[in-house]
Amino acid sequence: MCTVCQSDSFEERIERMRQKMLEAAEKFGLSHPEVLRFSQELDKLHTCYFTKMAKKSSVG
């Protein structure tokens, strides 16, 4: 399991990362490397979150 997936507070982590990305986009523009980095981290969080939810629903 990736290090991004090791927390149960995905919703909070996703929201914090989304806020960081939006703030960076307002400050630097959408194509700035920092915005792209936040976007990639947000993608990882979403992937882990949905993978974890799929596993829970298939078990239950």
pTM for this predicted structure: 0.79
pLDDT band at 10 (very low <50, low <70, confident <90, very high): confident
CA 33 to CA 51: how far, in whole Å? 27
- Whether residue 1 has pLDDT greater than 60: no
CA 25 to CA 34: how far, in whole Å? 8
H or E stretch at 13: helix 10-28
Ordered by where they begin, the domains of the chain are 11-59 (4.10.280.10)
